[in-house]
Amino acid sequence: MKIGKFSVLALAVILLFSAASIMRAQTPSLLKRTTTKTDKFDFSAGGTVTIAGAPSGSIRIVGSVKNQVEITAEIELQASSESDLAKLAEVTGFITDEGPGRTGIISYGTYNKLGDKRLWKKFQKELLGLPLRIDYVITVPRYCDLEVDGGKGDLSVAGVEGTMRINFLETTAKLEIITGSTTATIGSGSVDVALGVSGWRGRPANIQLATGDLRVRLPANLSAEIDARILRTGVIENSLADLKPRDRKIQFTDKSIIAKAGAGGVALSFTVGDGTLKLERLTLPL
């Protein structure tokens, strides 16, 4: 008896799914452990706080009137056994590099092998690729500068008055910018930037997003020179009716706005590779 081509294909698909099911059944499910690590130390206003996040994990930064840095890190590990989880816990966490004018918070784990070098000498190689994430809540002095590097996870910055430099691979971000120059480079995600949440104190800003949606909220009393661009695919949605072309011969398009707000002055640059760029008016709570 001959088997038609369709029957052969159907049989192959069934065998493929059966093999996949068998492999999943043979793969042990991973155990999960979540622990919390905290730290707190004095740090004067006016300095710089640097944060190196984990490849996966959120970072929330809050400004405070206290002259100290307070860290709460929720560390999630996965492994096939409790003993493996214990080994991973020994080599996962954060360290601080403290100085009078500059302090650092540095995440470590199997991806960078920082921490106690003695623990890495006989570390099992099969544990190197297991999932981990570190979620941070960090309180810093209100008047300080920030340098933040992150992987994949949410980002929030509020209540900090100082210069910011941010690099993130993939994120849903909410940034409140009060004063100080700001530079942010983000690979993909959704970014909400509010300038002047406590009154406009004009400083330059350069926000770049490769793929995703960038929402920029600007104060009513803004005086600045604005460059907004879509580099490849997508559109600019501009709801700021009072923006004027800096050059009357270069009109606004849905991919480029070269504008002056108020009397001009400080440079604000917003760039999206592929996605949507929204320019909106900032509304403050009553």
- Rounded to an integer, what distance in angstroms lies between the CA atom of residue 274 and that of residue 267? 22
Give the pLDDT confidence score for residue 199 in this predicted structure: 62
DSSP 110: T
The answer on pLDDT for 216 being more than 90 is: yes
Query: Residue 60 forms beta bridges with which residues?
Result: 137, 156
Tokens describing residue 249 = 């011969």
Q: Which span out of 37-46, 111-120, 197-206, 260-269 was modeled with the highest average pLDDT?
A: 37-46
Task: Provide the whole-model pTM.
Answer: 0.87
CA distance 268 to 223: 10
DSSP conformation letters of 135-179:
EEEEEEESS-EEEEEEEES-EEEES--S-EEEEEEEEEEEEEE-S
pLDDT class for 133, splitting at 50, 70, 90?
very high
Question: How far is the C-alpha of 97 from the C-alpha of 91, rounded, in Å?
Answer: 17
Here the tokens at position 80 are 């096939």
pLDDT at 2 > cutoff 90: no
- Residue pLDDT, tens place only, 7-49: 444 334 334 444 444 434 344 688 999 999 999 999 999 999 9
Beta partners for 171? 189
pLDDT band at 200; cut points 50, 70, 90: low
Domain ranges of the chain: 163-286
Which residue in the block uniquely carries the two structure tokens 């623990």?
119
Q: Which residues pair with 176 in a beta bridge?
A: 194
55, two tokens: 């490849």
Provide the pLDDT for residue 155.
98
Cα separation, 221 vs 238, in Å, equals 17
